[in-house]
């Protein structure tokens, strides 16, 4: 039985349906993540799990017991859920130790001191319990907030954009530390973020949200290499669509050659197998296009983005279509130069040309999803 389970939940504010038939399940000790753009409903789902919002449909179960349904909402304080907020929400008039001990008021003074010392050591703040929040850095305050949430040994930990107030370098480092801390306590957790790097660093499983629905609940690896639909393909990582033609159930020809799939080709979510001879759009990631001086295939560099160890090149093919290539930075070429490339595709991802004939004025969000055919 799953530790946390959401079954077809709906939530609306007035007539506006914010969450639509959303389902997920998370096993004990696993870290899940709701990832998506602003306004997709991910924080609202977190508030539903916490008990702050009433459902219009569906139910939420924790440890096998229903905590939310249309007819019943268990109060938040009875759910044994810990929360870490975006703004830390520490009490400024309490010391670090007093903040961590806030949820332990039912225990003896000795038990509180033992638990606080244990958590201070776990989050790397041993000996700093006497300080006040304003004396700590942003990263240290976030660790205090995490320790406070973990102190009562919650059944579930919820983290709402916990790193958004930190600078990029600290955010990346702290995300790995937070994962290690959660795993060390064997706590089940749900993270909400719009940053896929945070999601990949922290979560075991990720749900990509769009317009109140989960488009795909999967591992980070599968989201990148096996996206279920165009939205997931576009939202996760970088890439470009190249027109192709299906030769058989495992081969598709693109401008750069024939791609061979280890599994039968699938043309997008719920579309089944690809029709032989049909035109499709093939997703190519930057690591699928390899720079090779000996290759007869050539492409023109139209843009370059230096990233330290790598350079991300935008390349124009002979047809005018553009693709991306991630190249070690010692291969430093100039814009306008033609370089040799070859395909190295492990996962062939194809989609039917769903956007042909679509009225872009009526559907402006489709512009960035269209394959480049210029």
User: Is residue 166 included in any domain, yes or no?
Assistant: yes
Q: Are residues 251 and 194 in the same domain?
A: no
Strands of the chain, DSSP E:
4-13, 16-26, 31-35, 57-62, 65-68, 81-84, 156-160, 189-193, 205-210, 213-218, 240-248, 251-254, 257-260, 279-284, 289-291, 298-306, 310-316, 322-328, 338-343, 349-352
Q: Is residue 235 part of a domain?
A: no
pLDDT at 207 > cutoff 60: yes
Co-location of 215 and 133 in the same domain: yes
Q: Which of the residue ranges 74-78, 164-168, 207-211 would you say has the lowest mean pLDDT?
A: 164-168
Q: Mind listing the pLDDT tens digit for each residue in 115-144?
A: 999 999 999 999 999 999 999 999 999 999
User: Is residue 205 domain-shared with residue 312, that is, in the same domain?
Assistant: no
Q: Report how many domains make up the chain.
A: 2
**Is residue 373 assigned to a domain?**
no
Residues 9 and 154 in one domain: yes
Residue 368 has pLDDT above 50, yes or no: no
Give yes or no: residues 80 and 216 share one domain.
yes
Long-range contacts formed by 219-224: CB under 8 A, 24+ apart: 224/285
Question: Percent of the chain beyond pLDDT 90?
Answer: 80
Which band of pLDDT confidence, cut at 50, 70 and 90, is reported for residue 272? Answer: low
Confidence bin at 176 (pLDDT 50/70/90)? very high
Which pLDDT belongs to residue 369? 37
**Is pLDDT of 208 > 80?**
yes
- CATH number for position 222: 3.40.50.300
Burial 236-274 (b: 16+ CB within 10 A, else e): bbebbbbbbbbbeeebbebebeebebeeebbbbeeeeeb
Rounded to an integer, the average pLDDT of 40-67 is 96
pTM: 0.88
State percent of the chain over pLDDT 70: 92
Write down the pLDDT at residue 273.
63
Q: What is the CATH number of the domain that holds 329?
A: 2.40.50.140
- Which residues are CB-contacts of 370 (< 8 A; sequence separation ≥ 6)? 241, 355
Tens of pLDDT, residue by residue over 100-119, are 999 898 889 999 999 999 99
Average pLDDT over residues 72-94: 93
Contact assessment for residue 227 and residue 237, using Cβ atoms and an 8 Å cutoff: no
Last residue of a domain, one of 203, 226, 249: 226
Tell me, yes or no, whether 75 lies in a domain: yes
Whether the per-residue pLDDT at 82 is higher than 60: the answer is yes
Same domain, residue pair 201 and 84: yes
Residues 260 and 345 in one domain: yes
The tokens describing 271, both together, are 């579309």
Q: What is the pLDDT of residue 363?
A: 36
The domain in which residue 124 lies consists of 2-226
Shared-domain flag, residues 213 and 170:
yes
> In this structure, are 102 and 212 located in the same domain?
yes
Pairwise pLDDT comparison (362 vs 326), residue with the higher score: 326
Same domain, 198 and 65: yes
Does 81 map to a domain? Answer: yes
Question: Are 214 and 260 in the same domain?
Answer: no
Q: What is the mean pLDDT of the chain?
A: 90
In a shared domain, residues 67 and 163: yes
Return the half-sphere exposure (C-beta side, CA atoms, 13 A cut-off) of residue 187. Answer: 28
Residue 275 inside a domain? The answer is yes
The count of other CB atoms within 10 Å of the CB of residue 304 is 18
Of 26-35, 71-80, 147-156, 261-270, give the lowest mean pLDDT range: 261-270
Non-local (6+) Cβ contacts of 322 within 8 A are 240, 302, 314, 315, 316, 372, 374
Which H or E run includes 238? none
Residue 208 lies in a domain: yes
Residue 277 vs residue 200, higher pLDDT? 200
Q: What's the rounded mean pLDDT across residues 11-27? A: 94
């Amino acid at each position: 039985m799953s530790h946390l389970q959401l079954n077809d939940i709906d939530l609306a504010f007035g007539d506006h349906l914010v969450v639509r038939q959303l389902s997920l399940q998370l096993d004990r000790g696993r870290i899940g993540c709701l990832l998506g753009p602003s306004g997709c409903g991910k924080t609202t789902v977190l508030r539903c799990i916490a008990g702050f919002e009433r459902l219009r449909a569906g139910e939420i179960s924790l440890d096998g017991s229903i905590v939310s349904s249309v007819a019943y909402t268990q109060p938040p304080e009875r759910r044994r859920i810990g929360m870490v907020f975006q703004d830390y929400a520490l009490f400024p008039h309490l010391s670090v130790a007093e903040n961590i001990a806030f949820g332990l008021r039912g225990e003896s003074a000795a038990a509180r001191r033992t638990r606080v010392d244990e958590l201070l050591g776990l989050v790397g703040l041993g000996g700093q319990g006497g300080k006040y929040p304003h004396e700590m850095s942003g990263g240290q305050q976030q660790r205090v907030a995490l320790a406070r949430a973990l102190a009562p040994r919650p059944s579930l930990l919820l983290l709402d954009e916990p790193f958004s107030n930190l600078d990029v370098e600290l955010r990346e480092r702290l995300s790995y530390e937070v994962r290690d801390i959660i795993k060390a306590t064997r706590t089940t957790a749900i993270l909400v973020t719009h940053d896929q790097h945070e999601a990949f660093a922290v979560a075991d499983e990720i749900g990509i949200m769009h317009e109140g629905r989960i488009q795909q609940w999967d591992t980070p690896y599968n989201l990148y290499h096996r996206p279920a639909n165009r939205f997931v393909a576009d939202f996760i990582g970088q890439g470009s669509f190249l027109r192709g033609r299906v030769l058989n159930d495992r081969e598709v020809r693109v401008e750069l050659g024939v791609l061979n799939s280890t599994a039968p080709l699938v043309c997008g979510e719920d579309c089944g197998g690809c029709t032989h001879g049909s035109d499709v759009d093939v997703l190519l990631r930057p690591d699928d296009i390899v720079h090779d001086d000996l290759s007869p295939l050539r492409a023109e560099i139209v843009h370059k983005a230096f990233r330290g160890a790598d350079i991300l090149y935008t390349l124009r093919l002979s047809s005018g279509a553009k693709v991306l290539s991630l190249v070690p930075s010692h291969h430093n070429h100039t814009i306008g130069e033609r370089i040799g490339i070859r395909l190295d595709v492990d996962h062939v991802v194809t989609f039917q040309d769903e956007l042909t004939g679509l009225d872009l004025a009526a559907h402006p969000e489709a512009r960035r999803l269209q394959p480049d055919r210029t």
